[in-house]
With several copies, the nearest count.
Chain A
Amino acid sequence: MSAVEETTREESADEAAFREKARTWLRDNAPTSAVAGTQGVAADPNEATDAVTAAKQFQAKLFDAGLAGLTWPQEYGGQGLTSRHRRIFEEEASPYPLPTGIFIIGFGMCGPTVLEHGTEEQKNRYIAPMLRGDEIWCQLFSEPGAGSDVAGLQARAVETEDGWLLNGQKVWTSGAHYCDYGLVIARTDPDQPKHRGITMFIVDMNAEGVTTRPLRQITGESHFNEVFFEDVHIPRENLVGEVNDGWRCAITTLMNERVSIGSSGGDGDPIEPYVKLLRSRGLEDDPVARDEVASLYVRQRVQRYLGMRLNESLRMGTAPGPLGSVAKLHGSIISQVSSQMGVDLVGLDAVAWEDDEQGADRWAQAVLQSPGSVIAGGTSDIQRNIIGERVLGLPKEPQVDRDLPFRELTVGTQR
């Protein structure tokens, strides 16, 4: 990322010192080869245990060295530094395969939400252990019956003497099986319109009545869970924000999600596998294949500049505007184009292989993964609605569900 370094060459002495500190610490402590299952957002549950232990150990060292939660407030365990410091750390860390993937949901979504909407007690209790990796967090918003209409959720929390009783099902939860805490939203008043009867809670994932089950994706892998809540007791102090005002808190979480999807990705040069593919198939002089690879390269580079622009605006503290949605939409185009190109270039050998052909299934797996890029983290249709309505100011469709009590709505495929 030489271009980004360029923009930071006029560093303050403080920043330069920080860079030096980060560089030295990483050199002495960071792993140089990846630990299986610790880099992605979610690990395969079957091989997760060792990976989680390794990740927690590393994160604790990082925290103890004063290199975790760089921009988070000092009073809760963060370092109180600027986003420029965070950027410097990311630059220095980029050569190392840090085993921090399982903390992304906590740091990118749950933490910021607790910091913005949580009570003083909650911040004191949860933020430091989260940063130290002692406690891992997940997010529990999606439900089978809601989908793109996140606020159409049906999980119920009924108030009791000392808190709430939670029942319902969540889905597409990353890492639920190794997480300690989760941010959950549930319906607390079905007589209100759907956005207004929702409340956010912190839920103990080890509490009685919580069951997690791996969800098998179409690739055959399991990167997500279903989570079932059966009469799970949530103590009163775990309420985040106000009762029936959880949708506002959820927006904070989701905005952070979009930014982190849009600005992520792009380590290494993503055209490299295709260049190698052409060479290995003897297609490096095939003009049609050359044109296709160059087409993909154009989109990949443009996506990279888009990501740099998004990061720059985050660094500058200006709102990234529509760029998160733009990057997500363009990213899913790239995913579709590149995955189809892979199997097409390889031909029959991409769709069937012998047992001893290492990695021969990669092109087919990419085709199977590709629809996920259009669905996960807000479908492409939803991104286009966001751009159309919030960015371009186009009028909303006639809304039939804004003001009706939730209990009168049809949701999911219920009848």
Chain B
Amino acid sequence: MSRQIFTPSPEHEEFRTSVRRFAEANATSDIVRDLMERDDGYDAAVWSQMSQQLGLQGLHVPEEHGGSGFGFAELAIVFEELGRTLLPSPYLATAALGVNAILNAATPDQQARLLPRIATGEEIATLAYAEALDGTDGCTVEAKAADGGHVLSGHSRHVLDGANADLIVVPARVDGELGLFAVEGSASGLTRTPMRGVDLTRRQARIDLDGVAAERLGEGDAAAALRTTLDQAAVCLSAEMVGGAQVCLETAVQYSKDRYQFGRPIGSFQAVKHRCADMLVDVECARSAVLYAAWAVEERPEELDTVAPLTKAFASEAYVSCANKNIYVLGGIGYTWEHDAHLYLRRATASRALLGAPAQQRSRLAAQLLDA
């Protein structure tokens, strides 16, 4: 861990470079557009290389479970770089949701059993979180003890990469508390229905559980573990959003240098120049929050409850704003399907709603400020 919060170490810069190289090579516009037409929506070979070449899936999995034992500073780098390219992959689901849910809730034995397969890239994991966003209130899945384990019934929507996941962590009500349960993707009684959505580069699914066998992760009420997992994932997603917003900024800047109107590059007009400057303000503000949040996850875990929602709220607004402003700067060409600008607006729009939209995050912050 670097002693600085905001300043990357040389090792971090090097790591960033290799992730960027990998992402750029495997997520050209052509590749992304090809994958977004496909049913599964990602490339299994690239997923595998992501693990074998860079160890990304196991980045913050402890070394004893087959991972690299790094932390959120490194995760934030990966997410920012992946966010730059829109590489369609179940990485957010696996690394931000699945791994963290297991780390936060599972017993050491369970971790030893579940994490290595994820760290090696063999298994895609995810968390069915949507109905549980407000603590346990919205959770609609019921668990019953059976055969030394549990069986789950109910359904969950908006499960990130739910159709491709090998391991789905499902929050369910059990004996008046909330439990987190590991469900195999191939389990009998589990029906997975892909959803369509505005973001063509990250899939969601509906899962229906009808007496599906499941393993409870850890013991006791898991509401806190779920909350922590969602907040950690929100920090990861915020880092991804900063990467996306940064690319929108770079695209707008480059275009406004190249494009001439009225005999001048359009970037020499204050309307365009100041729009780009406002994008930079958004990006750098969001980046400051993400860097602080990634540091706080480990060094100030007691602040996570505040830092995660505010970071997610700010980064969501910043990304949507930058994605829109990029299209404005591009003008007509930015409004065509052929240009990638809309793919970023699509990603931004979906990401804003994922893991708690800004209004939900603000509502949590208001409760902290006013209901203490």
Contacts and interface: CB of A to CB of B under 8 A. Distances in A.
Q: Do A's and B's CB atoms come within 8 Å in the complex?
A: yes
Given A148-B331, A367-B345, A7 B271 contact: no
Interface residues of B, number: 90
B331 A379 contact: yes
Interface in A122-143: 142
Contact of A305 (B288, B300, B336): B288
Contacts of A348: 130, 157-158, 353-354
Contacts, number: 285
A399 B262 CA distance: 8
Q: Among the interface residues A6, A142, A171, A370, which one has the most CB atoms of the partner chain B within 10 A? A: A6
B253 interface: yes
B335 A372 contact: yes
Contact of A275 (B256, B257, B289, B369): B369
By secondary structure, the A interface counts as helix
Q: How large is the interface on A (under 10, 10 to 19, 20 to 34, 35 or more residues)?
A: 35 or more
A217 B253 contact: no
A372 B272 CA distance: 17
B261 A148 contact: yes
B334 A371 contact: yes
Contacts of B6: 308-309, 312-313
Interface in A315-374: 316, 318, 322-323, 326, 329-330, 336, 340, 343-344, 347-355, 361, 364, 367-368, 370-372, 374
Given A284-B370, A394-B257, 16 more contacts: A152-B262, A216-B336, A218-B334, A294-B366, A302-B286, A302-B289, A305-B292, A318-B7, A329-B278, A329-B281, A344-B358, A387-B277, A393-B257, A394-B273, A398-B264, A413-B260
Interface of A: 2-3, 6-7, 10, 142, 144, 146-149, 152, 171-172, 215-218, 220, 271, 275, 278-279, 284, 288, 290-291, 293-295, 297-299, 301-303, 305-306, 308-309, 312-313, 316, 318, 322-323, 326, 329-330, 336, 340, 343-344, 347-355, 361, 364, 367-368, 370-372, 374-376, 379-381, 383-385, 387-389, 391-401, 404, 409-414
List 10 tightest A-B contacts by C-beta distance, closest first: A401-B263, A352-B197, A218-B342, A294-B362, A388-B273, A216-B337, A364-B198, A149-B261, A290-B366, A394-B267
Interface of B: 3-7, 130, 157-158, 193, 195-199, 204, 206, 249, 253, 256-265, 267-274, 276-278, 280-281, 284-286, 288-289, 291-292, 295-296, 299-300, 306-307, 310, 313-314, 320, 324, 327-328, 331-339, 341-342, 345-346, 349-350, 352-354, 357-359, 361-363, 365-366, 369-371
